[in-house]
Amino acid sequence: MVRLMIGSVNEYAPETCAGMPSAPPLAAVNQAFWEFWLELRGDRAMPAAGDINPAGFRHLLPHVRCMRWDGPERVVFTLWGTGLGEWLKVDPTGQNVFDLIPKAERSREKVRLENLHRYPCAFVQQRSVTDVRGTTFLFEFLTLPVAAGADGAPRMIGTGAFCSDAPLGRADADPDQRTVQRSFRYIDIGFGVPAE
């Protein structure tokens, strides 16, 4: 039986679910993808890039986002699920992650994405996201590491889900404030988590 320490940066608690580690409470879509990722990785630190086959998570695919490091300051969305695109009224496939978050958060987000492979670990964050119509929702994003592909570039995969069906409101947000982090926590997958 696998037994790992799972928790946030400041709180750890051993948990198991049918012999597998479980994340802190997550939105249903994120919990389902977490469990899929755990099965996919098996006894390794993370799944290999070649293990990621959308047919294996077809029912979750509308909520999935895949990312790849394309340089020290560039993480590109290689997949943005249709459900996420419909909700946000945008498809950022091919865009740099760092171009889509506030400038003040970019260096911190870069370190967090690097930490996914450095430790390895996972993270979950909640963000208020304002769509192109000015409606703001609270989303929960789960981000998990995937080993580098044949090109040597590390990858990340995860899901996004509404925290609530009700919008937070409307905003004429500054383009640099279309997405704002509300909470963040690392998830220990057995190798520790960074002290942030």
Q: Look at the alpha carbons of 162, 9, 22, 156 in this order and tell me if their dihedral is positive or negative.
A: positive
Tell me the CA end-to-end span of the chain in Å, nearest whole number.
Answer: 30
The DSSP line for 175-193 is GGGSEEEEEEEEEESSS--
* Predicted pLDDT of residue 153: 96
Q: Which residue has the tokens 């905003």?
A: 171
* Predicted pLDDT of residue 14: 29
Dump pLDDT digits (tens) for 75-125. 999 999 998 888 777 789 999 999 988 888 899 999 999 999 999 999 999
pLDDT band for position 133 (cuts 50, 70, 90): confident
29/162 Cα distance (integer angstroms): 9
* Predicted pLDDT of residue 103: 87
- Rounded to the nearest 10 degrees, how much is the dihedral formed by the CA atoms of 93, 96, 102, 104? 160
- Rounded to the nearest 10 degrees, how much is the dihedral formed by the CA atoms of 179, 154, 77, 109? 10
Mean pLDDT of 173-189: 75
CB-CB neighbours of 27 under 10 Å? 21
Q: Are 156 and 144 in contact (CB under 8 A)?
A: yes
What's the one-letter identity of residue 53?
N
Dump pLDDT digits (tens) for 20-75. 455 568 889 999 999 999 999 999 999 999 999 988 899 999 999 999 999 999 99
6/169 Cα distance (integer angstroms): 34
The kind and range of the H/E element at 33 are: helix 28-41
pTM: 0.81
* Predicted pLDDT of residue 42: 93
Mean pLDDT of 128-150: 86
